[in-house]
A and B are shown apart, each in its own frame.
Chain A
């Protein structure tokens, strides 16, 4: 059983910086007291930011980790428009992939993670520390499209999942740069100041993962890492067919927990966090909850991993609006609007013909014929009709000769 200890709390700041940050927090707390709307905000949407920071074929498992979590989060209800997926390399179309366009997280190859509806927002070399921090803080160039922005508000719960190679207080991006723990803490502080989240859950699956969130100070943040300082995180198993390890242990056991759930279930975060077994993980899954007010056994996992929509019934329409708004064009069912239809691209000639046809009032024998046509065997009726026409034609030709 993994045990959750309180954060070590050891400050590595020099004293002067401590004083400055203390003053800053005095300021911020007074500012926060004024703008009390942030604490009153209702939870009304969930976001997920899933980041894979390693490239190269031998880091296949990090991509599979991220895609597995993407699939889980989508299955539990978070839509693509609220997921930011950052993949540093393309394993599915890698020339060394003997299963092209397929990514697996298990050697039984039962689940293709790259199957359908995978929307990658930041791909390849776009996954940099700068872009990651921009996504978190929301400072983009004005031309950046909405699908690449984290458009959360003060009622959002955000799940931030990071996987790759990491170390003591850093996470390596693309084998060329690093994200340090104080950068992450700074970004989270900015997010909190700008009311970009109500609650934040950080999951990190790297070596010495717990050091990455050791500098966090903002309230409302919950963090779990796959290993503590000095420990490595290990991969789960090697797929001899593909030739590399396909999933990490922490993510594997996380997925095993979620495969049993669906979007209606209310398993608590506490059950997730206590489900990690250090002997199976070969590392200690460490979580810090000192910045989080709610007790973990009362928080359902769908608060972060699933979708939630608070709904209110609309009792009545704004009746009388129609009467108050007098408009002069008469209500028509479709005739004179057909012209407009013709002008627009959407209208097809077939449709307008059908409309016109629907208005033909059938008389007498046409009624009988239509009934026959829409009845049982249209084919035989048509055959009979053609046959009769053929006979009539032959008859008239013979008569005219």
Chain B
């Protein structure tokens, strides 16, 4: 107390009474102090009370700390990263592929005793044949089954891939009714060609005493038939080739431009495609043409739109444009009697400055637009022909550009008259010409999807005929497109999900909304479902459009 000399030193409080219950007020017990306001300093050590107070505050803070952290946490909806990694692992180890079935039916005229050993031998030789031929990426295991039917009886191989073939429904005598009708007969006999969800393709070998040799007809459903005198080895090789080359690969050889490459699936990321048909009048002062697309064109294209619905949603638009010259040069060739364009000029044909083709209102930001253009040349350059590299003229006068669309050059009928009679008159394309043009467009649409426009120029060692479908695509071609589309969709979906999950993991302070989490889970579920279906071979689900959601997130 030396340092407070000068002040009236407060007398120290009296020691607490031994009973300790009532602590005497220090102020009253020191009458000597004259109204000092300062509380006297304590002399005893702080006791339990302070400890309890401090501890309770600290404890309440510690208890409340998790709630504080939780309330200030960045909202991150949990993403199923483990499931995504598991799916990725599954898809990388076993790439998606659709197992199919091949059912070979032999209709023998010879009343031969058909027994199980024959069917087993045939089955083994067909399987061996298939192993020799190159495999497709999207087709998985092929299970083979054989049925041999003859006058003596009917026996099937032990494999369960039955396509519903009832013995005795179709005989070789039915061939006389014509190919298209026989096709329908086989279709009704076989059913839809499915077994347990996966696709079964049937090849029927009809033995006849035909001296002309073998003939193959590929139907428009999921079957083909071979007619002729056949020895076993030849029949097996033909069956294998038909199955591998057409049903599995769509007629595209190795290295050819066609389905299987990325640029032959012109589908927008929202699953829509707009087919925009334009009629281009190069010089309206010569002639102006119009067409009746709404009535004829849309009616003919409706079955095609319906057939492609599982793969892509198609909208059709049409327009007529004027003053649309081409931008490449053609020269007059006396020998051929018209103006010719060589194949080297074709890439510069589309005059993008004057051809305002992209006027679609219904095409949203994410859908794809395919342009189909009919170009009507002016009087100066008419008739205009396309010259192929070998010097001959093109029969169709048409070409495509993958992922863009197709162009057809149509020479008007009064082109060769050369007179000025038709100065500026309005004409309409006749229905006949329009339907012929539409046939070329269907061929181009097939080409844009990676198939051949038609199979007329195929060279197979056995004469082959292909039944033409009114839907523009046969069912086995649609299967092919579907498989490729589903596989590529699944892989791109997986890539998007993986990159999204890695991005979110790499940025710990990024907000992830609930909506995103929900979309990711839905996409993942759809992807798993699609992958499961693919393993079973089921291709009827809507797995083709699963990636819309994930593309929307990405």
Question: Residues of A at under 8 Å CB distance from B?
Answer: 20, 23-24, 27-28, 31, 34-35, 37-38, 40-42, 44-45, 74, 77-82, 117, 140, 142, 144-146, 149, 151, 153-155, 193-194, 263-264, 307-327, 331-334, 337, 340, 346, 351, 354, 374
Contacts and interface: CB of A to CB of B under 8 A. Distances in A.
B283 interface: no
25 contacts: A31-B88, A34-B491, A40-B261, A42-B261, A42-B263, A77-B348, A81-B358, A142-B365, A146-B358, A311-B343, A312-B399, A312-B400, A313-B343, A313-B398, A313-B399, A314-B398, A314-B440, A316-B454, A317-B442, A318-B453, A319-B439, A321-B468, A322-B436, A327-B299, A331-B431
A53 to B, nearest CB: 24
Contact of A318 (B292, B299, B454): B454
B347 A322 contact: no
Given A41-B263, A312-B399, A317-B436, 16 more contacts: A27-B499, A31-B495, A31-B498, A117-B353, A146-B364, A311-B347, A311-B399, A311-B400, A312-B401, A314-B398, A315-B456, A318-B440, A324-B469, A337-B292, A354-B426, A374-B421
B221 to A, nearest CB: 13
Contacts of B502: 24, 27-28
A35 B91 CA distance: 11
Given A41-B263, A316-B454, A354-B426, A28 B499 contact: yes
B352 A155 contact: no
Contact of A154 (B262, B399, B401): B262
Nearest to A263: B348
B348 A319 contact: no
B470 A35 contact: no
A27 B498 contact: yes
A28 B394 CA distance: 46
Interface string B499-538: 1001100100000000000000000000000000000000
B443 A317 contact: yes
B255 to A, nearest CB: 12
A323 B468 contact: yes
Nearest to B447: A314
B353 to A, nearest CB: 7
B162 interface: no
Given A45-B404, A312-B400, A332-B431, A81 B352 contact: yes
B303 A309 contact: no
Contact of A193 (B343, B386, B499): B499
A321 B472 CA distance: 7
A211 B352 CA distance: 36
Contact of B425 (A81, A149, A194, A354): A354
Nearest to A338: B428
Of the listed residues A20, A37, A79, A318, the one surrounded by the most CB atoms of chain B closer than 10 A to its CB is A318
B402 A314 contact: no
A37 B211 CA distance: 48
Interface string B461-498: 00000001110100000000000000010011011101
A379 B313 CA distance: 58
Given A314-B398, A322-B439, A333 B454 contact: no
B388 interface: yes
A317 B395 CA distance: 9
B321 interface: no
B511 to A, nearest CB: 16
Given A42-B402, A354-B425, A312 B468 contact: no
Contacts of A74: 353
Interface of B: 88, 91-92, 257, 261-263, 290, 292, 295, 299-300, 303, 327, 343, 346-348, 350, 352-353, 357-358, 360, 363-365, 386, 388, 394-396, 398-404, 406, 421, 425-426, 428, 430-432, 435-436, 438-440, 442-444, 446-447, 452-454, 456-457, 468-470, 472, 488, 491-492, 494-496, 498-499, 502-503, 506, 554
A382 B395 CA distance: 47
A350 to B, nearest CB: 8
A314 B262 contact: no
A117 B395 CA distance: 37
A155 B263 contact: yes
A334 B431 CA distance: 9
A316 B396 contact: yes
A22 to B, nearest CB: 11
The majority secondary structure among interface residues of chain B is: mixed
Contacts, number: 195
B413 to A, nearest CB: 12
B358 A35 contact: no
Given A77-B348, A309-B350, A310-B347, A146 B468 contact: no
A194 B396 contact: no
Counting from the closest, the 6 A-B pairs by CB-CB distance are A79-B352, A320-B468, A324-B470, A317-B439, A318-B442, A37-B262
Given A318-B442, A324-B469, A311 B401 contact: yes
B394 to A, nearest CB: 6
B262 A317 contact: no
A154 B435 CA distance: 35
A78 B403 CA distance: 16
Nearest to B403: A44
B263 A309 contact: no
B397 to A, nearest CB: 9
A23 B365 contact: no
Contacts of A27: 498-499, 502
Contacts of A41: 262-263
B365 A44 contact: no
Nearest to A331: B431
A70 B262 CA distance: 30
Contacts of A79: 352-353
A331 B406 CA distance: 26
Contact of A317 (B348, B364, B454): B454
Contact of A324 (B295, B327, B347, B468): B468
A20 B506 contact: yes
B403 A314 contact: no
A322 B433 CA distance: 11
B95 to A, nearest CB: 9
A362 to B, nearest CB: 14
B513 to A, nearest CB: 14
A312 B352 contact: no
Contacts of B257: 312
Of the listed residues A38, A149, A151, the one surrounded by the most CB atoms of chain B closer than 10 A to its CB is A151
Contacts of B399: 311-314
Contacts of A23: 506
A325 B402 contact: no
A37 B488 contact: yes
Nearest to B258: A312
Given A34-B495, A40-B261, A317 B352 contact: no
A117 B355 CA distance: 12
Nearest to B455: A316
Contacts of A81: 352, 357-358
A340 B262 CA distance: 43
A317 B491 contact: no
A194 B554 contact: yes
A24 B502 CA distance: 7
